Amino acid sequence: MKAVAMTAVTPSSYKLVTISGEAPNLCFQFYESDSGSWSKELNLVKKNDGDDEYNDSSDDETGTVYFLSKTGHVVVATNNLQRSPSKQYSSVITVKDNAETVYFLSSHGTIIACDLTNRCFTELPKLLPPFLEYSIDLVECNGTMFVVLLSEFYESASLRIWKLENQSWVHVGMLPPAMSHELYGREGDINCVGGAGNKILVCFNTNPPEIM
């Protein structure tokens, strides 16, 4: 797999970062527009933070659980039910206190944080149980990574925004329930970008697309 992220160095230059491999064997290299050249490939080491619960991509359940998805197909509960598989490996990069971190969506349905400064990575805790269908996107605002998550539960939809603090997810915002309920059953996908200040633009993709 390969995740790609780009950050502006100056108004007229940029840095492009690529992360390759499968956890725990990840490496990265970067391209700088000023020099017009790629760096050598560097390895990323899995960070040992003393909490294996958040760094193990395997499921804790014993045995295989099957159930019917919304489309009527029999699926395995441990599968990633991300609504848009094309989002796999989509990424954002944050720069804070001169530390560069790339976040991307893995094939296991988790978010991986790659600390390029210290050349290490961490697999972040999952936001949802493995049997829920959802749409997800990552966005960067003011040097912070946020996760926008659209899920359906108990015949209603929920659109929420989360950020990471001390290896735990903190809920920081949501679409009012009356508005998010209108998205239930429409099997749409969300795409987000960070705007000026603390604003996040969320596009709910159906046919035709809708801006929220």
Domain boundaries defined on the chain: 2-47+68-211
| The residue type at 48 | N
The pLDDT, as a whole number, for residue 28 is: 95
The pLDDT, as a whole number, for residue 128 is: 78
Residues of the chain with pLDDT under 50: 50-70, 72-79
CA distance 212 to 210: 7
DSSP state of 177: H
The pLDDT, as a whole number, for residue 209 is: 55
The pLDDT, as a whole number, for residue 81 is: 56
The pLDDT, as a whole number, for residue 66 is: 45
The pLDDT, as a whole number, for residue 210 is: 57
The pLDDT, as a whole number, for residue 61 is: 41
Is 124 in contact with 136 (CB distance < 8 Å)? no
Is 160 in contact with 106 (CB distance < 8 Å)? no
Residues 6+ apart with CB under 8 A from 72: none
Q: Token pair of 57, please?
A: 């991509």
Q: How far is CA 20 from CA 42, 50, 130, 140, in A?
A: 10, 25, 25, 21
The pLDDT, as a whole number, for residue 19 is: 94
The pLDDT, as a whole number, for residue 207 is: 62
Is 171 in contact with 148 (CB distance < 8 Å)? no
Is 20 in contact with 108 (CB distance < 8 Å)? no
Strands 156-165 and 168-174: antiparallel
* Residue of 175, 167, 123, 125 whose CA lies nearest to 149: 175
pTM over the 0.85 mark: no
